[in-house]
Amino acid sequence: MIRTCILILLVCLMGCGKPSPEDRPIRPSKIMDFDTLFAQRCAGCHGTDGAGSGSIALHDPTLMNIISRETLHDLVKNGRPGTLMPSFQSNTGNPLTDAQIEILVDGMMQRWSEDAPPWATDRRYEVQQGKATRGKGAFVHMCGQCHGNDGLGASAGSVINPAFLELVSAQYLRTVILCGRPELGMPQLAGKIEDQTIDDIVAWLRTHKTFRSDQ
């Protein structure tokens, strides 16, 4: 009798509580659904559905048209060293597989690149060397009304705070000038500003960094 009880108990332990295959949690490396991947890996910093949050919006036809597929792929894979944008390949313990990175890149480009303004595709994405002295004048002209002519802030905040400049790359500053942070009230300037002028302004902003590095 006791033996039968133990047997039943064992069978129960082994079988009864077992979740059906559909209920079992999927291993992180097997998730192949764009929405789930984006929500789990990107939304925390770039907002639900890419609408922008701590960092820039990705649900933005201008950004999705000026950035190349290769650059976007590299960025997700390797992150941007020296900034808070993490590498998802070397994300120890829980990396994204190549196939998952492809799903993310394709998904963003397909879903969020439509209805781009006509000039979006002509813009240069990559930041290049600019001239800080020219950038200062351009800043007063194009940015001063909101950020103050000295960049210390007016209706919008300071953009020359060394702590802020340490955290962001030159490329990010260029992207923000092109694409704005519309969800925060920073307008998109792509189409209204020359590529060289953007690089000049970025160079001027970065003269306020306390520690010089090339990131």
**Contact in structure between 211 and 166 (CB atoms under 8 Å):** yes
Q: Is 84 in the site for ligand HEC (CB under 6 A)?
A: yes
Which CB atom, from 44 or from 117, has the smaller least distance to ligand HEC?
44
How far is the C-alpha of 198 from the C-alpha of 139, rounded, in Å?
A: 9
Residues near 58 by beta carbon (within 8 Å), at least 6 away in sequence: 42, 46, 47, 50, 52, 64, 108, 112
Give the separation between CA 47 and CA 41, rounded to whole angstroms.
11
Instruction: Report how far residue 76's alpha carbon sits from residue 78's, in angstroms, rounded to the nearest whole number.
Output: 6
Assess 88 for contact with ligand HEC (CB under 6 A). Answer: yes
Q: Which of 53, 83, 87, 196 binds ligand HEC (CB under 6 A)?
A: 83
Q: For ligand HEC, which is the closer residue by CB, 22 or 202?
A: 202
If the CB atoms of residues 18 and 141 are measured against ligand HEC, the closer one turns out to be 141
Q: Of 171 and 196, which has the nearer Cβ to ligand HEC?
A: 171
Check residue 104 for interaction with ligand HEC (CB under 6 A): yes
Give the per-residue contact string, 157-196, with ligand HEC (x = CB under 6 A; - = no): x-x--------xx-xxx-xxx---x--xxxx-x-------
Among residues 57, 72, 103, 190, which is the contact residue for ligand HEC, using CB under 6 A? Answer: 72
Two tokens at 123?
A: 């813009």
Site for ligand HEC in 10-39 (CB under 6 A): none
User: Using an 8 Å Cβ cutoff, are 55 and 46 in contact?
Assistant: yes
Give the burial string for 170-209 (b: 16+ CB within 10 Å, else e): bbbbbbbbbbbbeeeebebbbeebebbbbbbbbbbbbebe
Applying CB under 6 A, the residues found at the interface with ligand HEC are 41-42, 44-46, 55-56, 58, 72, 75-76, 80, 83-86, 88, 104, 142-143, 145-147, 156-157, 159, 168-169, 171-173, 175-177, 181, 184-187, 189, 201
